[in-house]
Amino acid sequence: MSQPESAVADAQAGGRSGQEPLAKLAERYGLRRAIARPRFLVYVRQLAERRHFILTYATSRNVSKYSSSALGQLWQVLTPLLNAAIYYVMFGIVLGGRDGVENYPAFLLIGIFVFTYTQRSVTAGAKSISGNLSLIRALHFPRAALPLAYTIQELQQLAISMGVLVLIVFITAEVPTWYWLMIPVVLILQTMFNVGAGLVMARLGSSMRDLNQLLPFITRTWLYASGVFFSIQDKVVETADLPQWVATAMYLNPAASYIEWMRDIFIYKHTPPPMVWMACVFWAVFALCFGFWYFWRAEERYGRG
Amino acid sequence: MADLTEELAKVKGEEPAVPSKDVRVHPDPEPAKGPLDVPTGTPTVIVDDLHIVYRVYGAASESEKGNAVNAFMRIVKRQGRPQMKEVHAVKGVSFVAYHGDAIGVVGRNGSGKSTLLRAIAGLLPPHSGAVYTDGQPSLLGVNAALMRELTGERNIILGCYAMGMTPAEVREKYQEIVDFSGIDEFVQLPMSTYSSGMGARLRFAISSAKTHDVLLIDEALATGDREFRKKSEQRIRQIRESAGTVFLVAHDLRVIQQTCNRVIWLHKGKIKMDGDPKEVLAAYTKG
């Protein structure tokens, strides 16, 4: 801060110091700072009061996103399907990923849909503050509403993908089982994780401008580390001959955990091993709590650009 | 009450003591004259030596060509990004606004009017200094929340929620907003198909549908045809009567003279004059 004008202004402010400061006057009349961070619980309550805005904003964004294309919201189904088709040809057939994997189409689709949900939430979260500065500078609302709305937008997208998934799993001859009742549980846990991760990315993205350039590389690395189109155990330990702990570490990453649980439900038809469901619960609770706390800590600073 | 008047006299008396070549005229501590005849009461907004600094990205200067080699050399030399500029928009503004005040803010483009309003609304964090308010000031501006690709109907609902209304309030206000904006059956069409006047009317209708404690109006009257301008001036008067304090930024000085009992003249981020509309506006049009 070295503008000469500010020096003059500072001198002016200093010249008034003999009288009662305005801050004291404000205190006497019970006025509060216009920009003050509410306490954490108050903040969460304010956010809950804005649930209608969050939902409407998410839905509106989804509607407007496809409004210029002829097929409209059909793209919400087509995009994941086309992606899956490409991966199936490349990794399943050409590179032989389907060898030794039970029901590879279902295996692949689960991996892609579940991973995409987390990946898109993280990417959208990083843009949710920096891409909405005009909104932040015009209206008053808990800023966490924005990353939250972006995650909900992705959840709406996932709901459609899951419909497609169930259909394909039917076609590939899996019968519904009682294990399918666990699907909502996994989705809720994954959503908790995505909300938390989105909030952390939103704060990082609001101050680190280069994050958006860097994110595609991070998410791609994450994609390969999560066993989306191959079985981690087969490729890492048996084919590449790496030690077991590498595979275990990969299984414990949040995206891989949620993918594994979903595959257990749809394909292997058993309850997940304790390691998987414990990782899922841990990541969900940890990300949500830390994400909210971390985002809330900078609440009054969003919007400075 | 005696305590209170003493307080006011103290606050108002202290400001001309600021060592500055700027002229400062202050409104009468007695009931304010002017079109809105409300006595000055307790302070509602106190702005204490406020500085606002914006960071602006992407404004590369001529000397610095934006190529990769230069970017790399900058990192090696540990220089900051040249594209990042700091703009000192508000430089040490202090004033006290009272209950029933309608304050006009005038100044040339880029003098910091809008920035000051946003800071009062608590939307821009101060670089130093502080803004103290009674209740939550709100900016009359919902434009940023609306989406051009969506229908007017959806945008009304979205805008109302963005301002913090409940579903019941939205249902109640919906027809009123449609009627006031006068867009009729266009409400079913996307906003991108609207003429600029229609869009402006709808935006004003949405953002003025809510009642406020401290209301900040930024250039809301500069839009629409004559009939709509009349309608919206009337609406602003209504809002002002129910609000505690109103701030109005406008380039149309006639509007300010008609509606305000106090005018603040901002020049290059500082208060050049603050006081009775007649005197300040006379000086402003001259200078």
Across chain A, mean pLDDT equals 83
Interface test with A, best of B6, B40, B48 (most A CBs within 10 A): B48
Give pLDDT, residue A146: 92
Q: Which of B51, B123, B125 sits opposite A140 (nearest CB)?
A: B123
Over the stretch A109-135, which tens digit does the pLDDT of each residue have?
Answer: 888 889 999 999 999 999 998 888 888
A290 pLDDT above the threshold of 90:
yes
Average pLDDT on B73-83 reads 65
Average pLDDT on B105-129 reads 84
Give pLDDT, residue A208: 83
Asked if B14 is an interface residue toward chain A (Cβ–Cβ < 8 A), one would say yes
* Residue A107 contacts residue A263 (beta carbons within 8 Å): yes
Interface test with A, best of B98, B132, B206, B266 (most A CBs within 10 A): B132
Count of domains forming chain B? 1
User: Does the distance separating the beta carbons of A32 and B133 come in below 8 Å?
Assistant: yes
Could you tell me the pLDDT band of residue B241, with boundaries at 50, 70 and 90? confident
Asked if A244 is an interface residue toward chain B (Cβ–Cβ < 8 A), one would say no
Burial of B58 (0-12, 13-18, 19+ CB in 10 A): exposed
Q: Which of B54, B144, B163 sits opposite A305 (nearest CB)?
A: B54
Tokens of B274: 């603050």
Residues of A whose CB is below 8 A from B166: 52
Asked if A24 is an interface residue toward chain B (Cβ–Cβ < 8 A), one would say no
Give pLDDT, residue B60: 52
Asked if B25 is an interface residue toward chain A (Cβ–Cβ < 8 A), one would say no
Residues of B whose CB is below 8 A from A68: 149
Give, for B8, the enclosing helix (H) or strand (E).
helix B2-14
Strands in B137-139's sheet, in edge-to-edge order, are B137-139, B214-218, B245-249, B102-106, B262-267, B270-275
User: Does the distance separating the beta carbons of A135 and B122 come in below 8 Å?
Assistant: no
User: Does the distance separating the beta carbons of B18 and A11 come in below 8 Å?
Assistant: no
User: Does the distance separating the beta carbons of B7 and A35 come in below 8 Å?
Assistant: no
Could you tell me the pLDDT band of residue A51, with boundaries at 50, 70 and 90? very high
3 state SS of B210: coil
The CATH number that applies at residue B244 is 3.40.50.300
Over the stretch B94-103, which tens digit does the pLDDT of each residue have?
Answer: 888 888 788 8
Over the stretch A61-78, which tens digit does the pLDDT of each residue have?
Answer: 888 887 777 777 788 778
Over the stretch B167-219, which tens digit does the pLDDT of each residue have?
Answer: 998 999 889 888 888 888 888 888 888 887 788 888 888 888 877 778 888 76
Shortest Cα distance from A139 to chain B (angstroms)? 7
Give pLDDT, residue B78: 65
3 state SS of A30: coil
Asked, for residue B158, whether it belongs to a domain, the answer is no
Tokens of A228: 């989306």
3 state SS of B247: strand
Tokens of A9: 């202004």
A173 pLDDT above the threshold of 80:
no
Please provide residue B254's backbone torsions phi and psi, each rounded to the nearest 5 degrees: -60, -45
Q: Calculate the alpha carbon distances from B84 to B19, B56, B64 in Å.
A: 34, 6, 12
Asked if B167 is an interface residue toward chain A (Cβ–Cβ < 8 A), one would say yes
Could you tell me the pLDDT band of residue A26, with boundaries at 50, 70 and 90? confident
3 state SS of B45: strand
Asked, for residue B69, whether it belongs to a domain, the answer is yes
| Eight-class DSSP state of A210 | T
A165 vs A28 pLDDT, higher one:
A165
Give pLDDT, residue A20: 63
- Measured in whole angstroms, the distance separating CA A6 from the mean position of its chain's CA atoms is 42
Asked if B12 is an interface residue toward chain A (Cβ–Cβ < 8 A), one would say no
Amino acid (one-letter) located at B278 = K
User: Does the distance separating the beta carbons of B166 and A63 come in below 8 Å?
Assistant: no
Shortest Cα distance from A165 to chain B (angstroms)? 30
Asked, for residue B204, whether it belongs to a domain, the answer is no
Least confident of A33-42, A138-147, A240-249, B272-281: A33-42
Could you tell me the pLDDT band of residue B66, with boundaries at 50, 70 and 90? low
Interface test with A, best of B21, B22, B46, B140 (most A CBs within 10 A): B46
Q: Which of B57, B125, B142 sits opposite A35 (nearest CB)?
A: B125
A98 pLDDT above the threshold of 80:
no
Could you tell me the pLDDT band of residue A295, with boundaries at 50, 70 and 90? very high
Q: Which of B15, B124, B190 sits opposite A304 (nearest CB)?
A: B124
β-bridge pairing B128-133 and B43-56: antiparallel
B10 pLDDT above the threshold of 60:
no
Amino acid (one-letter) located at A73 = Q
> What's the domain range around B69?
2-140+212-286
A148 pLDDT above the threshold of 90:
yes
A2 pLDDT above the threshold of 50:
no
Asked, for residue B174, whether it belongs to a domain, the answer is no
Amino acid (one-letter) located at A52 = H
Nearest to B276 by CA among B12, B51, B46, B9: B12
Interface test with A, best of B45, B123, B136, B271 (most A CBs within 10 A): B123
Instruction: Report d(CA B274, CA B28) in Å as an integer.
Output: 12
Q: How many CB pairs below 8 A link A and B?
A: 186
B14 pLDDT above the threshold of 50:
no
Could you tell me the pLDDT band of residue A149, with boundaries at 50, 70 and 90? very high
Give pLDDT, residue B4: 43
Could you tell me the pLDDT band of residue B81, with boundaries at 50, 70 and 90? low
B26 pLDDT above the threshold of 70:
no
Give pLDDT, residue B79: 63
Instruction: Report d(CA A91, CA A42) in Å as an integer.
Output: 49
Give pLDDT, residue B15: 38
Contacts of A36 (CB under 8 A, 6+ apart): A300
Asked if A45 is an interface residue toward chain B (Cβ–Cβ < 8 A), one would say no
Give, for B89, the enclosing helix (H) or strand (E).
strand B85-98
pTM of the model: 0.77
Average pLDDT on B213-238 reads 72
Number of C-beta neighbours around residue A134 at 10 A = 13
| Eight-class DSSP state of B278 | H
User: Does the distance separating the beta carbons of A134 and B88 come in below 8 Å?
Assistant: no
Give pLDDT, residue A22: 76
Amino acid (one-letter) located at A215 = L
Could you tell me the pLDDT band of residue A202, with boundaries at 50, 70 and 90? very high
Q: At what angle do helices B196-207 and B226-242 cross, to 10 degrees?
A: 10
Average pLDDT on B123-149 reads 80
Asked, for residue B167, whether it belongs to a domain, the answer is no
Could you tell me the pLDDT band of residue A281, with boundaries at 50, 70 and 90? very high
ipTM of the complex: 0.77
Could you tell me the pLDDT band of residue B145, with boundaries at 50, 70 and 90? confident
Burial of B54 (0-12, 13-18, 19+ CB in 10 A): middle
Give pLDDT, residue B16: 38
